[in-house]
Amino acid sequence: MVKKLIFFLFVTSTLLSQDKYIHAGKVYESNTGKYLSNKTIIISDNIISSIEDGFIEPKNQNIELYDLKTKVIIPGLIDFHVHMESESGGKEKYINRFQDSKVDVAFKSTVVAKKTLLAGFTTVRDVGGSGVNIALRNAINRGLVVGPRIFTSGKTIATTGGHGDPTNGYRQDLFDDPGPQDGVVNSISDARKAVRYRYKNGADLIKITATGGVMSMAKNGQNPQFTEEVMKAIVSTANDYGMHVAAHAHGDEGMFRAVKAGVKTIEHGSIMKERTMKLMKEKNAYLVPTISAGEHVVKMASIPGYYPEIIIPKALEVGVQNKASTKKAYEMGVPISFGTDAGVFPHGDNAGEFVYWDEIGIPTEYSLRAATITNAKLLNMENLLGQIKKGFYADIIATNNSPHEDISTLKNVVFVMKDGKVYKK
């Protein structure tokens, strides 16, 4: 009886760890920009164990074989700016703040997570929520929820009344004065404490709101909202804890201060001047343009009654300038990372950002590298993510056509594997 049990356990474990084979017609090498033809990708557990020439037939009939001979194989995409806790919407989003509990938010976020993964984004950087995003990350890592690999900032750090103050738009008798634990700071000591709270709660990075924002219930969409000294305290403390800092910024003064203070990424950069572009090149700070969000809010702001009145002028003022600023930043040689701001527009439509980049003259090769190798490097995961290569995580997607021939093919991903497991085929 014992021998039979041991044999059963051996066979079961062998089957569970069986390799997977992919017969790939074309494989995109993100590090060289070349396409390799007729390859067999062999996956062991969640790692690419080898890439062989030709279409090798598995010797073991239990090995899973995926025939993608007519498809283009690409590393799983990385979106560097999403909000997994929220979905796009108009006035109802602001009402939901009073109606939805964290449990409601959590259940909704699981739907968002699955949409994002099936769209071909196997990794995302979540830059702001209530803290549910940390629990969502953990649930995905444990296999309880289907979704992308998440690196998250937890709750954004803001100033009193600034973009990210969770009490904006509330009646005064409904709230106390929020502090560092709630992500609201007004001094260097507050700032350091807020960073440490994020670390304590399990954040992977820090997100600050260096300027006003479009979607918050506050009238200014671009004014600077932190002093440089406070931002320096945030950056130095974050670095002490092994975290980088992302700064939401629409207006130039706020983003200029943020870059001087040492933030790693500027989110949106809608009204960026040449002085900031030059400084970003000097400091090797990255722009995360999120053109998709700008285009979406301008479109929706033209629908009467869709957004609260305080949002509309900001959407029309800031959103329309994002494309032009991104184009100029690219032409000046500012490093650019791929991010979309999904949540401001519908999740699952993330790949539309590639089309916007193409429209302003950013080459496909640059945008693909930005969404793979560049973002993997910024996450300090360049040895595991962003390439289809031996020893890397088996994060693999497939499209019908080459993105270099038709960039919009990325909006129709036909195969998704993350960590060696197939979610779409």
Q: Are residues 180 and 64 in the same domain?
A: no
C-beta of residue 146 within 8 angstroms of C-beta of residue 118: no
Residues 26, 127, single domain; the answer is no
Q: Does 69 share its domain with 90?
A: no
Is residue 308 included in any domain, yes or no? yes
Q: Is 4 part of a structural domain of the chain?
A: no
Residue 81 has pLDDT above 50, yes or no: yes
Same domain for 276 and 217, yes or no, is yes
357-402 pLDDT per residue, tens: 999 999 999 999 999 999 999 999 999 999 999 999 999 999 999 9
pTM of the predicted model, to two decimals?
Answer: 0.94
- What mean pLDDT comes out for the span 169-192? 87
Q: Which amino acid is at 421?
A: K
Q: How many CB atoms lie within 10 A of CB 265?
A: 29
- In this structure, are 293 and 312 located in the same domain? yes
Could you tell me the pLDDT band of residue 173, with boundaries at 50, 70 and 90? low
Percent of the chain with pLDDT over 70: 96
Are 105 and 221 within one domain?
A: yes
Flag whether 100 is in a domain.
yes
- List the beta bridge partners of residue 246: 207, 265
CATH number, domain at 197? 3.20.20.140
Q: The domain spanning residue 408 has which CATH number?
A: 2.30.40.10
51 bridge partner residues: 41
Number of domains in the chain: 2
Both 288 and 212 in a single domain?
yes
Q: What was the pLDDT predicted at 187?
A: 97
Please give the structure tokens belonging to residue 311: 């949002």
pLDDT band at 8, cuts 50/70/90?
A: very low
Residues 152 and 52 reside in one and the same domain: no
Please indicate, yes or no, if residue 72 is contained in any of the structural domains: yes
- For position 407, what pLDDT does the model report? 98
Residue that is last in its domain, among 304, 324, 350: 350
Listed residues 304, 329, 350: the one ending a domain: 350
What's the distance, CA 47 to chain centroid? 22
Q: Is residue 401 part of a domain?
A: yes
Q: Is residue 38 part of a domain?
A: yes
Q: When comparing pLDDT for 213 and 418, which is higher?
A: 418
Tokens 């974050």 belong to residue: 238
pLDDT at 100: 83
The answer to whether residues 280 and 200 belong to one domain is yes
Q: Last residue of a domain, which of 324, 350, 376?
A: 350
Could you tell me the two tokens for 226?
């932190």
> Where in the sequence is the domain holding 180, given as residue range(s)?
77-350
Gap between the Cα atoms of 211 and 326, Å rounded = 18
Give the closest residue to 50 by CA, choosing from 25, 76, 72, 22: 22
pLDDT tens, residue by residue, 222-276? 899 999 999 999 999 999 999 999 999 999 999 999 999 999 999 999 999 999 9
**Chain centroid to CA 211:** 20
- Asked if residue 114 belongs to a domain, the reply is yes
Note whether 144 and 278 are same-domain residues: yes
165: how many CB neighbours lie within 10 A of its CB? 23
54 located within any domain:
yes
Note whether 39 and 91 are same-domain residues: no
Residues 70 and 86 in one domain: no
Query: How many helices, marked H, and strands, marked E, lie in the chain?
Result: 14, 14
Q: Tokens for 131?
A: 């803290």
